């Protein structure tokens, strides 16, 4: 870790890893943000004494982030990391009070989640994938993401024993270190079965070449080791790019698409909340942007005036057609 960073930061990172069971990616993000924060303090204030930090210094840090072109979501995440560090210091008794308790938050513009329609994903999943290790792996990877709504780190850490084909479930360590069990669809299981044949041959080939392989990991790279989240993200992005022009597509797009498809099919928010592993219902409510179509369908099925409205609309349309047909254009 950088020399500008006090040893308490390293202790905090260890706490996140051991006590909170945060994923490697989450821990790395906290570490990067805190290193950046203390480098800023050293460069701008010539001090890394966290005990003297207050609102003024935090305002300067925010201003620096904004001037460097960071978007509001990125700034909010970095502030959250710093606040979490100070909460840790307070709870450990290193600080008597948290100087950042009343620090204002950066307003984050809440956009709609990026998602792909079921028809687009169906088109992708039914397209031809090469009959090879890579082709079968990529197909299985896409199917698992869309079938379960799991996070990137959760899928990357899956082992063979985590998937129960007979029970059609997948067990995994979720965000926060808790184990969860989710249903997994038959298409995803079929894709995994097709991939496993190539996977075994791939492992054998790499083992014979003297390479260290990972026997338990489901998704492997070309060397027979566990596929990293970075490579997994690139694979998903490449395939989703075949059916979407959105440059922001990612594994999380499939998670959003999973939730959107569930909601469109009639699942209630509480069920989707449980499937996604959200802590609060408010986190799931962002998916209600797709309910317009569903609400219109329910309205037509249930409201007594819906049928009358449709009938009147049809009659009006018929009258307009008749009027246009009978209309005589005057001679010039």
Catalytic residue among 175, 187, 190, 286: 175
Burial of residue 237 (CB within 10 Å: 0-12, 13-18, 19+) is: middle
Measured CA distances, 121 to 124, 139, 152, 236 (Å) = 5, 12, 18, 12
Catalytic residue among 139, 198, 255, 273: 255
Contact 263, 112 (CB under 8 A): no
Catalytic residue among 78, 151, 199, 226: 151
Measured CA distances, 71 to 33, 57, 108 (Å) = 14, 20, 9
Catalytic residue among 42, 278, 286, 294: 278
For residue 9, how many other CB atoms are within 10 A of its CB?
Answer: 23
User: Can 214 be counted among the known catalytic residues?
Assistant: no
29 contacts: CB under 8 Å, gap ≥ 6: 77, 81
Instruction: Pull the structure tokens for residue 229.
Output: 């989240």
Q: How far apart are CA 317 and CA 323, in angstroms?
A: 10
Instruction: Pull the structure tokens for residue 211.
Output: 């390479």
User: Can 118 be counted among the known catalytic residues?
Assistant: no
User: Can 175 be counted among the known catalytic residues?
Assistant: yes
Q: How far apart are CA 122 and CA 247, in angstroms?
A: 20
For residue 313, how many other CB atoms are within 10 A of its CB?
Answer: 10
Catalytic residue among 42, 214, 252, 294: 252
Contact 125, 142 (CB under 8 A): yes
Contact 88, 52 (CB under 8 A): no
Contact 103, 55 (CB under 8 A): yes
CA nearest neighbour of 50 among 74, 76, 85, 75: 85
Instruction: Pull the structure tokens for residue 145.
Output: 């993401």
Task: Characterize 214-224 residue by residue with b for buried, 16 or more Cβ atoms within 10 angstroms of its Cβ, and e for exposed.
Answer: beebbbbbeeb
User: Can 151 be counted among the known catalytic residues?
Assistant: yes
Contact 271, 156 (CB under 8 A): no
User: Can 278 be counted among the known catalytic residues?
Assistant: yes
Q: Which residues are catalytic?
A: 151, 175, 252, 255, 278, 287
């Amino acid at each position: 870790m950088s020399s500008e960073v006090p040893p308490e930061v390293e202790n905090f990172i260890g706490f996140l890893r051991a006590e909170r069971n945060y994923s490697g990616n989450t821990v790395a993000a906290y570490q990067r943000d805190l290193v950046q924060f203390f480098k800023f303090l050293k460069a701008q204030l010539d001090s890394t004494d966290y005990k003297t930090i207050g609102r003024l210094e935090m305002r300067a840090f925010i201003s620096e982030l904004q001037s460097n072109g960071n978007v509001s979501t990125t700034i909010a995440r970095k502030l959250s990391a710093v606040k979490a560090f100070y909460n840790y210091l307070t709870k450990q008794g290193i600080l008597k009070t948290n100087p950042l308790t009343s620090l204002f938050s950066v307003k984050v513009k809440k956009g709609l989640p990026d998602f792909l329609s079921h028809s687009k994903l169906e088109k992708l999943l039914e397209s031809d994938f090469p009959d090879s290790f890579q082709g079968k792996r990529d197909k299985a990877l896409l199917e698992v993401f869309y079938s379960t709504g799991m996070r990137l780190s959760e899928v990357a850490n899956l082992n063979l024993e985590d998937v129960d084909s007979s029970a059609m479930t997948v067990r995994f360590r979720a965000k926060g270190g808790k184990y969860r069990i989710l249903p997994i669809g038959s298409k995803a299981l079929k894709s995994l079965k097709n991939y496993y044949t190539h996977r075994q041959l791939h492992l054998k080939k790499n083992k014979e070449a003297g390479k260290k392989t990972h026997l338990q990991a489901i998704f492997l790279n070309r060397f027979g080791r566990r596929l990293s989240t970075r490579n997994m993200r690139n694979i998903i992005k490449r395939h989703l790019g075949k059916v979407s022009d959105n440059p922001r597509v990612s594994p999380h797009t499939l998670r959003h698409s999973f939730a959107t498809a569930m909601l469109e099919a009639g699942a209630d928010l509480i069920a989707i909340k449980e499937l996604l592993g959200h802590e609060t219902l408010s986190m799931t409510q962002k998916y209600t942007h797709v309910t317009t179509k569903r609400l219109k369908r329910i309205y037509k099925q249930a409201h007594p005036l819906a049928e009358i409205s449709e009938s009147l609309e049809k009659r009006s349309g018929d009258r307009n057609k008749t009027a246009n047909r009978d209309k005589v254009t005057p001679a010039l």
